[in-house]
Amino acid sequence: MEKYFQEQKSLKGYVNMVQEILKMMMENASIEEVNDFLYELGQRLAKHNPINANDSLSDFHIQINEKLNLLGFGVAQIEDLNTALQITHRQIEECTDQSFADSWQRAFAVVLCGLYQGYFAQAGAPSALVCKVVSIVAPNEVVLQLKKRG
């Protein structure tokens, strides 16, 4: 799978532009406002790149990865933990500006939460499920969980 991603065209110019936009947003708005914006961005991306309703988590998993591929957003592994669904998202574009790398990862994770929240809603998941960032594992990997509020 890594070979596949290495062969893809680079999005570095777009990623650098988005990173600069994000820096400007963080300089001019509160972190809550920035996160709300990024979360809504993820939900809009899900709306504009919809999936079909699914009968199984494995079908959902396949469709999610097809959409992520189209968006150039990496790849997801979804695991049912009984109390939550855990999403390990890999191959996030890395930030070349080391002083901004942590902020970039956190911001992209918020976009992903909105995206996954939108996709799970399209698949018929109850609105009581909420996506949360669990951890940032590596420069290009985050772990998210979708579970009931509370």
**138 Cβ partners below 8 Å, 6+ apart?**
none
Query: What is residue 135's predicted lDDT score, i.e. its pLDDT?
Result: 93
Q: Which two tokens stand for residue 130?
A: 């909420």
Q: What is the pTM of this model?
A: 0.87
Domain ranges of the chain: 2-148
Strand order, beta sheet including 85-90: 75-80, 85-90, 141-148, 129-138
d(CA 114, CA 125): 14
**Per-residue pLDDT, 4:** 53
- Write out the E strands in the chain: 75-80, 85-90, 129-138, 141-148
Asked if 139 and 101 touch (Cβ cutoff 8 Å), the reply is: yes
Strands 85-90 and 129-138: unpaired
Q: For the chain, 150 residues long, give each residue's pLDDT as a single digit of tens.
A: 555 555 555 556 777 888 899 999 999 999 999 999 999 999 999 999 999 877 788 888 899 999 999 888 999 999 999 999 999 999 988 887 888 888 999 999 999 999 999 999 998 888 888 999 999 987 789 999 999 876
What CATH number was assigned to the domain covering residues 2-148?
A: 3.30.1380.20
Residue with tokens 């600069």: 20
